[in-house]
Amino acid sequence: MKALVYTQPYRVSVEERPYPQLEDGSELVLIRIGAAGICGSDMHAFHGSDPRRQPGLVLGHELAGEVVESQSPRFRTGDRVTANPLIVCGQCEFCRQGRDNLCSDRHMVGMDWAGAFAEFMKIPARSVVKLPDGLSVQHAALTEPAATVVHALKLTQRALHLPLAETRALVIGGGAIGLLTVLVLRAWGCRDITLAETNGLRREAAVRHTGCVGINPLETPVEEAQMQLVVDAVGAAPTRQMALQAVKPGGVVMHIGLQAWASEIDMRKLTLAEITLLGTYTYTMDDFCVTLKMLGEGALGPLDWVETRPLTEGQQAFDDLESQRVSAAKILLIP
């Protein structure tokens, strides 16, 4: 089969890889990939900055397609499916608590498991979910990034002192996570949303597709201490500083991006203004299924901001994302 392989920093190439085999007794499902999204973590690997993703790896964990082989009675050949790329043990304390995203023995598709930038991919049946009728494979491939947002905003709502409908929100970053954050906030009743994005193409596209207010924070600094909720969907030193500058006393900062792994933050303001700073990691299986249902019901809109490209043009897609030459917040690769 053909697969897009990360070969060295800033290089991916289409290679022939063995057709995946389903081992006896493993209850695996083999999926013909219909669409797979390029994630920010794939870009980190592309940069050579993620030690967990080494050259020779097939990246990609945002996926949907159809079943071609199954060892599980739950799935038949031809079923249209997506898959939770977190492969968890189901037995540790976190799995027993329903917090399987924190599983102490978890694996991840496209990290330590061959990913979805390929014609076929195998995965445990317990990670596979059937698509709602009427939801396209391309839109279903957004389930994974959208579930990340759903999980983050569920955590956020527990910490907020106001309902989302009464909350003034700032979202930093107009990539897929930032754009999906605006859409989920809107679906859950929030109307006063500002998006801060320096890339003019992405900012204009986000405003057009979501109706939020868009600003370039390099030209229009965010208002100080005016937001009850700030979502940092970038996670760099300047955006962390921006988030703490913008949040009101008693407000919430949800840190969802991870462009830089460490940086200084204003701990004095965090303490004296009683700011709640939250981190988030992926989603639970329940979040994943809730998100898929939302997509099937059209709760996040027409999703016409997604761009598709052939898998064979993967290098160009990565290059275009790297140089910010595209307005699309999400590029899907089609094998």
Is residue 118 in some structural domain? yes
For residues 171 and 107, state if they share a domain: no
pLDDT score, position 49: 85
Is residue 288 in some structural domain? no
Q: What is the band of 261 on the pLDDT scale with cuts at 50, 70, 90?
A: confident
Residue 262 reports pLDDT greater than 90: no
Whether 129 and 153 have beta carbons less than 8 Å apart is answered as no
For residues 138 and 8, state if they share a domain: yes
Give the span between the Cα atoms of 145 and 37, in whole angstroms: 9
Distance of CA 313 to the CA centre of its chain: 22
Give 302's contacts (C-beta < 8 A, 6+ positions apart): none
* 228 bridge partner residues: none
Tell me the per-residue pLDDT of 176-228, one tens digit each, with 9 for 90 and over: 999 999 999 999 999 999 999 999 999 999 999 999 999 999 999 999 999 99
C-alpha separations of 217 from 152, 242, 256, 321 in Å = 23, 9, 19, 21
Mean pLDDT across the chain: 96
Tell me the per-residue pLDDT of 46-85, one tens digit each, with 9 for 90 and over: 999 888 899 999 999 999 999 999 999 999 999 999 999 9
CA within 13 Å, CB half, 293: 7
For residues 103 and 175, state if they share a domain: no
Is residue 289 in some structural domain? no
Residue 26 reports pLDDT greater than 90: no
- CATH assignment of the domain containing 199: 3.40.50.720
For residues 121 and 240, state if they share a domain: no
For residues 266 and 312, state if they share a domain: no
Residue 334 reports pLDDT greater than 90: yes
Secondary structure of residue 166 in the 3-state scheme: helix
Give the span between the Cα atoms of 50 and 261, in whole angstroms: 10
- Segments forming the whole domain that contains residue 273: 148-279
Secondary structure of residue 93 in the 3-state scheme: helix
Is residue 45 in some structural domain? yes
- CATH assignment of the domain containing 54: 3.90.180.10
Is residue 91 in some structural domain? yes
Task: Label the pairing between strands 227-232 and 168-172.
Answer: parallel
For range 311-319, the mean pLDDT: 97
Give the span between the Cα atoms of 117 and 334, in whole angstroms: 8
pLDDT score, position 185: 98
Tally of structural domains, the chain:
2
Is residue 297 in some structural domain? no
Give the span between the Cα atoms of 239 and 254, in whole angstroms: 12
pTM comes to 0.96
Is residue 291 in some structural domain? no
Tell me the per-residue pLDDT of 139-173, one tens digit each, with 9 for 90 and over: 999 999 999 999 999 999 999 999 999 999 999 99
For residues 234 and 185, state if they share a domain: yes
Sign of torsion, CA 248 170 286 120? negative
For residues 184 and 112, state if they share a domain: no
Give the span between the Cα atoms of 112 and 116, in whole angstroms: 12
For residues 92 and 154, state if they share a domain: no
For residues 169 and 233, state if they share a domain: yes
Neighbours of 2 (CB within 10 A): 15
Neighbours of 221 (CB within 10 A): 13
For residues 171 and 51, state if they share a domain: no
Give 145's contacts (C-beta < 8 A, 6+ positions apart): 37, 39, 62, 176, 177, 180, 330
Is residue 298 in some structural domain? no
For residues 13 and 93, state if they share a domain: yes
Last residue of a domain, one of 240, 264, 279: 279
Tell me the per-residue pLDDT of 266-289, one tens digit each, with 9 for 90 and over: 999 999 999 999 999 999 999 999
For residues 322 and 271, state if they share a domain: no
C-alpha separations of 18 from 21, 77, 124, 211 in Å = 9, 20, 18, 46
Sign of torsion, CA 43 48 51 53? positive
